[in-house]
Every structure is written in structure tokens, then in C-alpha cells.
Amino acid sequence: MAGVFLDNVSKVYPGGVTAVRGVSFAAPDGAFCVLVGPSGCGKSTLLRMIAGLETISDGRISIGGRVVNDIEPMARDIAMVFQNYALYPHMSVYDNMAYGLRNLKTPESEIAERVGEAARILELTDEMLKRKPRQLSGGQRQRVAMGRAIVRKPSVFLFDEPLSNLDAKLRVQMRIEIRRLQRRLGVTAIYVTHDQLEAMTLADMLVVMSAGRLEQVGAPLELYERPASVFVAGFLGSPPMNFLKGRVEAQGLVRLSNGAPLAYDAAHFGPPLGLDVVAGVRPERARPGPDGAGLPFRVELVEELGLGRLVHGHAGDAAFALALPAGAAPLSGEQQLLDIAPGDVHLFDAGTGLRL
């Protein structure tokens, strides 16, 4: 078992692309840590540096208290599961799972034991172990890829978008299996995805990246409830947080660019008067209010989800979405006034994008 520690890690590819800039975080022993961010933000690069598949341009990475910068991938005590599984098509499922152990000159009797154990955990039958990967379904192949990682008994699992080839239903199922397996084995996991929902549901610890930099690290709900920047606020949550531009007019009051007032909790935010801000409101935190007061909202499209209802529209010139629970009264008319509690308003500096 081992924690993973990154200290000011950077990567500049030959040719000059800086893919990772000064990233530091610590994934504690046994934690499920998810790296999330948009395409191209440097997630795979970071994971590959942890695995030893890319050199580290600057900074230090340690696994289980040992600096691994100059240690070969095989000696890092990690196992990696890739997006495309990378199974050998000409080998049986059994041989695919045994491959890494055979390379390490593990005795066949021990290989049989470990493959058998992994197959049991992953519910791969003896008959499946004899097949070739192409004779399995996508989800079964995914389990073989996991099995190949498990048999190594590593102290860290690294996953790079392992579920992105699967259909939506199987993805949810495998997500639960991966989490259960990781808990059961107690192995530290670092998991890369660009799917914020997958990230929120899997992680003990979320690491949000953008353009090679670390945006915020913390427990999923902590980041959801206290995003450190407009970027994190807009990245986590579906539909994303609504953003309204305005200026601080008085303590506890923002004048929005559409002229409407919006109250915030002055106990939580203390911006200087006159500052240009971005006010953020989660879709589930705004409600059609009583007549006469509130934020003017123009309804444009209603999506019935069964579980609830999404209402898309505009507040002034800003796109705005509402998430209403199932059974909420249908909206009457196209013009609404929205009730937003001051405690549900997040404030960000319009210039820097950072939480105030």
C-alpha cells in the first residue's frame, strides 16, 4: 500500500509544449483520487509521469515515500489500466492476465493462483479465461484489463479513462465495480476522466485541472459547494452553474448587468464596493418565486426527465437553467421571477475568475 505525492511537477514535451505546470497534490494511501478536466489539460501526461512512461521535466513524484523520478516503470509497484484495454488479441484471456507475471518470472503455480483469484473477484468464468479477447463483450474485456492489473498486486492502480469505450449503462455498472474492487483491495487509485459525473461519483478526492494547471483539490462535495474558481464551478455539475455578471453595489447586494438586484450573504463574501463580479447560482438552487419580486427569467425550453424537470431560458442576456424536482408545479407563462436565497449565491472576481 502506498500514497502518491506530487511536488511541483511539470512536463515540457520535446518541441516545447508545456503539458503540465507545477502540479502538487497528495493522494493518501488507499484513497480513490480522480484527475478531471477538459480534453488536452494534461491528465494523461500526469498519469504517465506517475507510471514512469513519460519523463518528469521538473519536480518530484514519490510513491509510498520513495522518490520515483528515476525509477523504471516495472519497479514502481503500480499497474495501469488504459482506455483501449491494450489486450493481446492472439493470446487467451488467461495468458493476457498472466503476461505481466510471466515477465517477472513468477512460478506458474503462483500465476494460476493469482489469475484464479482475480477471475473470481471479477466474475470471469474458467470458460471465459480460455477465449480470445475478441470473443468477449466490451465490459468483459474491461474486466480482463482490470484483472491484468489486479494479479500484479500493485500498491497503486492507475486508470486512464478506462470506461470511455463502453455504452452508458455498462459504464455506470463498471464504475460501481471498480469502486467496490478498489475498496476491497485497499489499493490507492488514481483515475483519469473528463466526465465530471464519473469523477464526482468515484472520488474520495478530486483533482480538477485546466490547461496543465491544478485548479482545485478536495472532496467532491466540498468542490461542488465551494468551487475556488469560475472554472471549477462551471465544470462540476450538470447542467452547470449559472453565471450572471454584475457589480457590487452595497454590502450584500450585487447589481446585475440586466439591472436586477441579487442579494448575497455578506457573512461569506466581503468584496470591495464597485468590484465587477460573476455571481454563480446552481440550477437546483433557484425556484420560481412568489409574484412581485425576484430575478426576471424567460422560459425557453422545458425538458421532462422523469426524475425532475430542467427549464432552460435566459435571465437578462445570460443563459440560465433551473432544475426542478419531480412534482413541481408547471411554470405558468414564459416570464418568471426566480427566488434565490442569498446563501446560494457564489461570488467570483470577474477579472481573475477566483472565488471572493
Ligand X SMILES: Nc1ncnc2c1ncn2[C@@H]1O[C@H](COP(=O)(O)OP(=O)(O)OP(=O)(O)O)[C@@H](O)[C@H]1O
The binding site for ligand X (CB under 6 A) comprises 13, 15, 17, 19, 37, 39-45, 194
Residue 44 or 96: the one with the smaller Cβ distance to ligand X is 44
Residue 175 CB, shortest distance to Mg ion, in Å, is 18
Residue 44 or 242: the one with the smaller Cβ distance to Mg ion is 44
Q: Which of 11, 31, 44, 340 binds Mg ion (CB under 5 A)?
A: 44
Residue 159 CB, shortest distance to Mg ion, in Å, is 11
Question: Beta partners for 313?
Answer: 299, 320
Residue 41 or 345: the one with the smaller Cβ distance to ligand X is 41
Mark the segment that binds Mg ion (CB under 5 A) among 36-44, 99-107, 226-234, 256-264.
36-44
Mark the segment that binds Mg ion (CB under 5 A) among 22-30, 39-47, 108-116, 222-230.
39-47
Neighbours of 252 (CB within 10 A): 16
In the bound state, the residue with its beta carbon closest to Mg ion is: 44
Q: Does position 140 bind Mg ion by CB under 5 A?
A: no
Instruction: Decide which of ligand X, Mg ion, none touches 19; Cβ closer than 5 to 8 Å per partner kind.
Output: ligand X
Give the three cell numbers for residue 305: 426527465
Q: Are strands 205-210 and 213-218 parallel, antiparallel or unpaired?
A: antiparallel
Residue 56 or 286: the one with the smaller Cβ distance to ligand X is 56
Instruction: Decide which of Mg ion, ligand X, none touches 171; Cβ closer than 5 to 8 Å per partner kind.
Output: none
The sign of the torsion formed by the CA atoms of 40, 44, 49, 52 equals negative
Residue 191 or 224: the one with the smaller Cβ distance to Mg ion is 191
Mark the segment that binds Mg ion (CB under 5 A) among 43-51, 89-97, 314-322, 339-347.
43-51
Residue 42 CB, shortest distance to ligand X, in Å, is 4
Instruction: Decide which of ligand X, Mg ion, none touches 194; Cβ closer than 5 to 8 Å per partner kind.
Output: ligand X
Residue 85 CB, shortest distance to ligand X, in Å, is 16
SS3 string, 222-266, reads HHHHCCCEHHHHHHCCCCCCEEEEEEEEECCEEEECCCCEEECCC
Residue 44 or 216: the one with the smaller Cβ distance to Mg ion is 44
Residue 44 or 140: the one with the smaller Cβ distance to Mg ion is 44
Residue 24 CB, shortest distance to ligand X, in Å, is 17
Instruction: Decide which of Mg ion, ligand X, none touches 308; Cβ closer than 5 to 8 Å per partner kind.
Output: none
Residues that bind Mg ion (CB under 5 A): 44
